[in-house]
């Protein structure tokens, strides 16, 4: 039997071409904004298909999948897991909300996980989405295989472990109130063979805009080239890498503020390189050699740490680019020179004579060439001539070859024969491996507070250590999509942010974010109350029996009145309602949980910020282990008493001692006084009696 596969391949390629493009998906969001709870339902209905319906085995999970075309040869699945928090057997509280400042929010009914798995890049368009076994179904088959051997509890535990897998290319979770957390992002350095970190974050950013996500938090603990990227990127760009997408530092660990963050960035990025430069009459260090080496490559003067690290990062893509072998064009239009082209040529001819006098196998260092001619020419002219010496053709078909000595990190020169097929005038360009090694060395020597070298003045170094420590402590970044501005610009209906106060709960209990209510222009107050009631019931687990009672400031107005006449078509409205928390609903009161704790650290922190803490065994107040003098690598002691309790104990103990001293001293003083008043005879009588 002969099978013609050409028609099948054409059909598969056509089917893959019909899939949405990952680099443009999703399309532009609609002009009429809606709340996340409404947008996510419409989004899944238009673009996704159910791959694992909710069942008795997994009552809290419902999975969807969207196939995205990366290129004609690759199809990538985006999995969406809808998690019913109220039916989950695991903790219903969100650790990310707790440490980012949203711990006072009530627990949401649902969470939506957006996942691109690391093994999903094996999909290809030769077997496109509708012809292949979907990746999520393969995941379901794994669940089925697990279920055949284990109990339902074990299977559900296995399924939830997949949601906590940190090897995913993308894993983000959105609560039903529109507050989200970017949990995992792994680009090429994280294991992706197709997508970069920018591609993945671009996709996530478009998803947030299409779904009307309100705020997204991310804990920036990313590393690049073996370095803490939030510190390196802050030095070179003045912000976190996520800042390119609008993520900003609001408040963070150890009570750090926006002002302290920006001051730290300014301090460390403007650090002059002058203290690290070569000092006469002192031996040259490796740090000085590395800085001088990269200074020789730059047309502009590298004066600060920002200049140095920015320039080195710009060399990495050039080191493996096909154009890196070509001699760069040096722009001297912005450089004020006091010498002419003849002067440069004269200096270089003198250098060539020195190289010709050296035996062929030997290299001559830049320092040696400069030292041999420093009495004849100015230092600036020598540096400029050396910078453009490599790759020049000389007599007898010879060329000046350059290299970087891996031991001394110094540029070296020698003459070599010009061979046929040799690339065009190649300059001494360091390899990517050398650049990364030098970058890590400079990062450890100048930036990282734990490995920073000692240098003078000491006060400057202490300020830099403090600034670097603060930047490393700033991990939480938030992007605010500002949906209220989008609502204000839409006149097609009534868009109101409803703020609710509960009459049967304390005012200072939890923090209840407002919900967006969208109504037609002819909606009444009754419609507004009804929609607000439904919205809060749908979003929050504790609000299962919530009901809006009245609008603040409106009194007993008839509910049949058109809403826009009273509250307008946009803005906010305050409502009063009741929410009887019965049948165990009280445990959904706040994302921080039902436990009560007090945080009062010496650094000023008043709430859990995600850093390691311990509680005082006397007063029960929590504080950072670092602020208590316990190093991060040390174990937490079995017994701990905070400084406040120790001071209080000392004061109480001192007061007790003082009282005891007064009590002991008083009889002695009175006896002495009585003895003096009674006279010598009485005193001698008492003494005699005592001896007896």
Instruction: Classify each residue of 155-191 as buried b or exposed e, where b means 16 or more C-beta atoms within 10 Å of its C-beta.
Output: bbeebbebbeeeebbbbbbbbbbbbbbbbbbbbeebe
Q: Which two tokens stand for residue 517?
A: 């209510």
- Tell me the average pLDDT of the chain: 80
* Torsion-angle region of 197 (φ positive above 0: left; ψ -120 to 50: alpha; else: beta): alpha
**Beta strands in 512-648, from DSSP E residues, in sequence order:** 515-519, 547-551, 570-578, 613-615, 622-624
Rounded Cα distance between 475 and 653, Å, is 42
Name the one residue in this structure whose structure tokens are 């007063």.
619
User: pLDDT by residue (tens digit) across 166-196?
Assistant: 889 999 999 999 999 999 999 988 888 889 9
Q: Which residues are paired to 613 by β-bridges?
A: 624
Q: What is the mean pLDDT of residues 443-458?
A: 91
Whole-structure pTM value: 0.79
Q: Are 552 and 516 in contact (CB under 8 A)?
A: no
Half-sphere exposure of residue 208, counting CA atoms within 13 Å on the CB side? 28
Across 378-400, average pLDDT: 82
pLDDT of residue 683: 34
Tell me which of 121-135, 379-393, 462-476 is least confident: 121-135
With a pLDDT cut of 70, the percent of the chain lying above it is 77
Q: How confident is the model at residue 80 (pLDDT cuts 50, 70, 90)?
A: very high
* Most confidently modeled range among 354-368, 426-440, 646-660: 354-368
Give residue 597's pLDDT: 82
Q: Alpha helices of 388-431 — where are they, by DSSP H?
A: none
Kindly report, residue by residue over 469-498, the tens digit of the pLDDT.
Answer: 999 999 999 999 987 666 655 677 899 999
E-state strands within 247-326: 248-249
Tell me 402's DSSP state. Answer: E
CB 219 within 8 A of CB 610: yes
Transcribe 255-320 into DSSP letters: G-BHHHHHHHHHHHHT-BSGGGS--TTSPPPHHHHHHHHHHTT-SS---BHHHHHHHHHHHHHHHT
Least confident range of 9-13, 283-287, 515-519: 9-13
- Please give the Cα distance from 387 to 328 (Å, whole number): 11
pLDDT tens-digit series, residues 552-609: 877 778 888 988 888 888 889 999 998 876 656 778 888 988 888 899 999 999 888 8
For 15-64, write each residue's pLDDT tens digit. Answer: 567 899 999 999 876 666 789 999 999 999 999 999 877 665 667 888 89
Phi and psi, residue 177, nearest 5°? -90, 0
């Amino acid at each position: 039997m002969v099978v013609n596969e050409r028609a099948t391949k054409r059909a598969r390629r056509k089917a893959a071409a019909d899939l949405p493009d990952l680099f443009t998906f999703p399309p532009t969001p609609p002009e009429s904004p809606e709340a996340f709870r409404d947008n996510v339902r419409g989004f899944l209905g238009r673009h996704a298909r159910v791959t694992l319906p909710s069942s008795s085995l997994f009552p809290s999970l419902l999975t969807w999948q969207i196939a995205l075309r990366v290129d004609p040869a690759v199809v990538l699945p985006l999995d969406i897991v809808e998690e019913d928090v109220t039916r989950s057997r695991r903790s219903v509280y969100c650790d990310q909300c707790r440490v980012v400042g949203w711990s006072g929010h009530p627990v949401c009914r649902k969470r939506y996980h957006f996942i691109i798995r690391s093994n999903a890049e094996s999909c290809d368009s030769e077997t496109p989405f509708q012809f292949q076994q979907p990746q999520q179904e393969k995941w379901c088959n794994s669940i089925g295989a697990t279920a055949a051997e284990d109990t339902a509890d074990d299977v559900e535990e296995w399924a939830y472990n997949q949601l906590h897998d940190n090897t995913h290319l993308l894993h983000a979770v959105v609560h039903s109130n529109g507050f989200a957390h970017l949990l995992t992002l792994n680009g090429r350095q994280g294991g992706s063979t197709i997508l970069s970190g920018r591609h993945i974050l671009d996709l996530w950013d478009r998803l947030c805009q299409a779904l009307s996500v309100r705020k997204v938090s991310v804990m920036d603990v990313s590393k690049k080239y073996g370095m803490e990227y939030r510190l390196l990127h802050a030095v070179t760009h003045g912000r976190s890498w996520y800042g390119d997408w609008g993520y900003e530092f609001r408040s963070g660990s150890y009570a750090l503020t926006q002002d302290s963050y920006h001051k730290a960035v300014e301090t460390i990025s403007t650090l002059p390189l002058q203290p690290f430069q070569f000092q006469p009459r002192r031996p040259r260090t490796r740090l000085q050699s590395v800085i001088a080496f990269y200074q020789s490559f730059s047309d502009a003067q590298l004066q600060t740490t920002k200049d140095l690290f920015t320039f080195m990062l710009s060399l990495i893509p050039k080191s493996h680019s096909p154009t890196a072998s070509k001699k760069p064009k040096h722009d001297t239009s912005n450089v004020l020179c006091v010498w002419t082209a003849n002067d440069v040529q004269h200096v270089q001819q003198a250098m060539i004579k020195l190289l010709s006098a050296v035996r062929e196998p030997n290299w001559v260092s830049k320092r040696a060439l400069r030292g041999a001619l420093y009495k004849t020419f100015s230092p600036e002219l020598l540096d400029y001539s050396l910078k453009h010496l490599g790759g020049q053709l000389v007599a007898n078909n010879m060329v000046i070859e350059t290299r970087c000595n891996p031991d001394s990190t110094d540029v070296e020169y020698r003459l070599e024969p010009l061979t046929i097929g040799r690339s065009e005038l190649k300059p001494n360009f360091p390899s990517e491996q050398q650049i990364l090694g030098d970058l890590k060395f400079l990062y450890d020597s100048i930036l990282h507070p734990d490995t920073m070298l000692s240098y003078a003045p000491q006060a400057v170094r202490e300020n830099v250590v403090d600034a670097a420590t603060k930047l490393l402590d700033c991990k939480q970044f938030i992007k605010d999509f500002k949906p209220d501005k989008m609502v204000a610009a839409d006149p097609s209906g009534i868009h109101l942010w409803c703020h609710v106060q509960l009459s049967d709960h304390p005012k200072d209990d939890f923090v209840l974010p407002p919900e967006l209510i969208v109504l037609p222009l002819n909606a009444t107050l009754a419609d507004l109350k009804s929609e607000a009631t439904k919205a809060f019931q749908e979003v929050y687990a504790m609000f299962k029996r919530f009901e809006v009672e009245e609008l603040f400031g409106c009194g007993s107005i008839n509910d049949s009145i058109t809403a826009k006449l009273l509250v307008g078509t946009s803005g906010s409205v305050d409502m009063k309602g009741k929410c009887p928390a019965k049948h165990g609903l009280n445990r959904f009161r706040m994302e921080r949980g039902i436990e009560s704790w007090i945080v009062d650290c010496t650094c000023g922190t008043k709430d859990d910020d995600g850093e390691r803490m311990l509680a005082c065994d006397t007063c029960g107040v929590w504080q950072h282990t670092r602020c208590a003098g316990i190093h991060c690598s040390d174990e937490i002691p079995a017994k701990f008493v905070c400084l406040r309790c120790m001071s209080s104990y000392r004061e109480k103990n001192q007061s007790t001692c003082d009282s005891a001293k007064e009590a002991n001293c008083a009889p002695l003083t009175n006896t002495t006084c009585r003895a003096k008043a009674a006279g010598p005879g009485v005193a001698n009588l008492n003494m005699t009696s005592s001896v007896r």
